[in-house]
Amino acid sequence: MKSELSDDLVCLKVVHNIFEAEVIKAKLLEAKIKVFLKKEAIRELYGLNVDGLGKIEVFVGSKDLKRAKALIED
């Protein structure tokens, strides 16, 4: 069974702010680009965001990468 997201996910951007991640996600979804946010558990448990801890990775399918980059640069 194939998942909704492409099997070949690529990291579009790494952010350290959940609000920025959600804005990017909303822009991509509005453009019909499927998106996956990978959050580190330490962010959820302790709210930490120090020296790379608590990063949020924004993933899209490789076929959508070029279009997604253009959208978030605006």
In whole angstroms, what is the distance from residue 15 CA to residue 40 CA?
11
In whole angstroms, what is the distance from residue 55 CA to residue 15 CA?
6
CA diameter of the chain: 39
The tally of domains found in the chain comes to: 1
Whether residue 19 lies inside any domain: the answer is yes
State the pLDDT at residue 17.
85
Whether residue 26 lies inside any domain: the answer is yes
Q: What is the pLDDT of residues 9-28, one digit of tens each?
A: 999 999 988 899 999 999 99
State the pLDDT at residue 52.
54
Whether residue 3 lies inside any domain: the answer is no
Q: Confidence band (pLDDT; 50, 70, 90) for 33?
A: very high
Q: What is the CATH number of the domain that holds 48?
A: 3.30.70
Whether residue 52 lies inside any domain: the answer is yes
Residues 6+ apart with CB under 8 A from 6: 34, 61, 62, 63, 64
Q: What is the pLDDT of residues 34-63, one digit of tens each?
A: 999 998 655 555 555 555 566 899 999 999
The model's pTM is 0.76
What is the extent of the structural domain holding 43? Answer: 9-73
